[in-house]
Structure 1
């Protein structure tokens, strides 16, 4: 019988039972791919991470991220939460980690309080912003359970974008529409079937609205088993990059509030900057430890 230690944390929040839940296995040596996937399904969270020795000694670790049905190339809150767990467990933790992931090397900088205790982290998207195809407003509206005129298109049509993780359909809506949106699984399936070249067989929807100087957002990904996500770093970074693309500036920063409608309020501090290779984005937030235990296999 084998035992593997795990820790759960709430990410992008400063209070327990807020933010986005994450399970972290700090030492996943000995687990097979199938066991990692089975454990992620068993935890039934949006993602679970497994930490392994790096392939190259100059890097900190190899981190594998699984949702309920598949491994992911990159995701935001799993990187922030994994760095938080590792930093909390190592008094000599470095200022930043370099994680090897399928999307590339991921840099995660630890955040500390005045006493030096790790409180959260900031993760850089591993790739520059990639803007994909637009989709009709009617498609986004149907997926969100909204009317087509709830979709705001004055600044942009619903558009697919990514920066290392799965692409997201970035869609601006009114505050009222944001509050009453309800994901429609059948509409997501129809959208993928009708737009196979654009979606690549996968679709998640990130709707947002302006809220003063900041943003409010919700993320729906029912095709992966996540009907709604409480905090999505890998959607916040392409959104920040895309807004900078629209604004035409050199850099920008946005506070994004997500998860309110789920009763798990989250705060994601997203920023983007123009670089020689394109627009690069980062997202930061705090974390709170919740549970510790062992998985016995």
Structure 2
């Protein structure tokens, strides 16, 4: 007898269907094996698919697992946001509680609702505490790997690994034009990321003509994705990097609007809030979402 598995595509960090970053969501994965989850993620062929299972943690509502088309990953921001949006809007969690809490491989991820006139406007996830570390690699090598000139690298800021759950390489770039024109050497970039145990390589710039506070692109061939359109995990890590490196004033609260995905026609907007907390900070990443596709998979 075949298993019937309900699935959804949820476009995260957008208010437009076919914008932002599409995530697969399987809200009832309790009868699936890890192999079946990987096969489903490969079939849906999105950067990540999230699977919800019962949690044994009294402080969590669900366990959440994430798969790319090729492997399981510990955390995915846009799939978390898309899953929370789906649970709030289609499964009426917005009427049950002010938030939903997922148990993941990196710990508990609370996601709260942001409403306006009793309508869901966005959801906001709190990521794990940020940290940064140095990397022994030259700007010249990084520029070559991501398809930039070395003069495109903004040497006012350090190239470092930042983490709010999984590690991302932060690459400061002088202009949006340079970021848009970047053509990474994906095979070589994959080798470098695997060597340093980096999940993605994240280009960012403050050159946005006032449209956003920051503009970004994200490359991640080592987890089976050439380019991730709009990246909740990497932009949360970016917020932590900017705070911990004192690029944004410490002991002040910051609210950033970040644009991403425009180069590959999946434009999206993220809202990153950085709240000081002792020597560290609390990072929240918020955005809207749209349920674009729903259907059934027959196993």
Relative to the length of structure 2, the TM-score reads 0.91
Gaps of 5+ in 1: none
1:157–1:42: structure 2 CA closer, same or farther, 3 Å change rule? same
Aligned residue for 2:41?
40
Alpha-carbon shift at residue 183 of structure 1 (Å)? 1.8
Paired residues of 1:139 and 1:191 also in contact (CA < 8 A):
no
User: 3-state SS of the aligned residue for 2:51?
Assistant: strand
Deviations 1:116-164 (A, max 9, x none): 2334311111x2111022332123212211111111111x221111011
Separation of aligned partners in 1, 2:102 and 2:193: 32
Structure 2 matches for 1:82-97, cutoff 5 A? 82-91=83-92, 92-97=95-100
CA distance in 2: counterparts of 1:203 and 1:33, whole angstroms: 21
The yes-or-no answer on 1:286 pairing with 2:280 is: no
TM-superposed deviation, 1:277: 6.2
TM-aligned CA distance change 1:172 to 1:61, over 3 Å: same
Number of aligned residue pairs: give it: 288
Give me the whole-angstrom Cα distance separating, in 2, the residues matched to 1:124 and 1:206.
Answer: 20
Q: Which residue of 2 aligns with 1:243?
A: 242
Paired position in structure 2 for 1:140: 142
Contact 2:190 2:220 in 1 (8 A): no
Q: How far has the Cα of 1:46 moved from its partner?
A: 0.8
Question: Residue in 1 aligned with 2:53?
Answer: 52
Whether the 8 Å CA contact 1:136–1:157 is kept in 2: the answer is no
Distance (Å, rounded) in 1 between the aligned partners of 2:296 and 2:73: 23
Q: Residues 64-75 of structure 1: matches in 2 within 5 Å?
A: 64-75=65-76
1:11 Cα shift?
0.4
Matched residue of 2:276: which SS? Answer: strand
Which deviates more, 90-99 or 281-290? 90-99
Aligned residue for 1:152, secondary structure, equals: coil
Q: 1:34 to 1:190 in 2, by over 3 A?
A: closer
Look up the match of 1:267: 269
TM-score normalized by the length of structure 1: 0.92
Select the residue among 197, 205, 228 that pairs with 1:209: 205
Structure 2 unmatched ranges of 5 or more = none
Question: Shift of the alpha carbon at 1:111?
Answer: 2.4
Cα pair 1:158 1:172 within 8 Å, conserved: yes
Alpha-carbon separation, structure 2, partners of 1:264 and 1:252 = 26
CA deviation profile, 1:88-135 (whole Å, cap 9, x unmatched): 123333110111000000010122341x2334311111x211102233
State the 1:186 CA deviation.
Answer: 2.7
Counterpart of 2:110 in structure 1 is 107
Partner of 1:228: 227
Structure 2 CA distance for partners of 1:277 and 1:243, relative to 1, 3 Å: closer
SS at match of 2:230: coil
